[in-house]
């Protein structure tokens, strides 16, 4: 699963996302809408992914990325990303057991923080 720019076919990276919206569905057919801006040509596009495709995409990105999910989210000016969306990412990662740093991330998440 690779996301590519519709105009110039450049692979879309983690930092190219400008908006992620998560649409849960009771029957499990969750949809994730992502908006990206191509780093190469500046084209803005929207893609709607299945939960499975999204999970696969995130896992692939984070496997090749030294940042944790938390660090990535902190650098993003994403739209209204909700706690549920973060939980979904976390669930996917825990399931695949890929990131060592995830446990640390979860610890800091569960603690009350003075974040504004
Ligand atoms: Zn492009």
Q: What is the pLDDT of residues 13-41, one digit of tens each?
A: 888 888 888 787 777 678 888 889 999 99
Q: How far apart are the CA of 90 and the centre of ligand 1, in A?
A: 29
On whether residue 98 sits in a domain, the answer given is: yes
Q: Which domain holds residue 93?
A: 14-110
Angle value at C-alpha 106, between 64 and 73, nearest 5 degrees: 50
**What is the distance in A from the centroid of ligand 1 to the CA of 11?**
8
**22 CA distance to ligand 1 middle (Å):** 24
Question: 116 lies in a domain?
Answer: no
Q: How many domains is the chain partitioned into structurally?
A: 1
- Euclidean distance between CA atoms 57 and 63, whole angstroms: 10
Centroid of ligand 1 to alpha carbon of 41 (angstroms): 4
Q: How far apart are the CA of 15 and the centre of ligand 1, in A?
A: 14
Residue 4 within any structural domain of the chain = no
In a domain, 83, yes or no: yes
The answer to whether residue 23 is domain-embedded is yes
Extract the runs of DSSP E, i.e. beta strands, from the chain: 17-23, 31-37, 44-50
Whether the Cβ atoms of residue 10 and residue 4 lie closer than 8 Å to each other: yes
Q: Which residue has the higher pLDDT, 47 or 51?
A: 47
Residue 39 lies in a domain: yes
């Amino acid at each position: 699963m690779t996301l590519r720019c519709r105009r110039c076919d450049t692979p879309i990276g983690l930092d190219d996302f400008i908006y992620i919206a998560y649409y849960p569905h009771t029957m499990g057919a969750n949809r994730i809408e992502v908006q990206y801006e191509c780093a190469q040509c500046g084209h803005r596009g929207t893609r709607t992914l299945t939960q499975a495709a999204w999970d696969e995409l995130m896992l692939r990105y984070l496997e090749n990325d030294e940042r944790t999910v938390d660090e990535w989210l902190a650098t993003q000016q994403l739209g209204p990303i909700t706690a549920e969306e973060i939980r979904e990412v976390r669930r996917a990662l825990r399931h695949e057991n890929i990131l060592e740093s995830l446990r640390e991330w979860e610890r800091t998440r569960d603690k009350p923080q003075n974040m504004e």
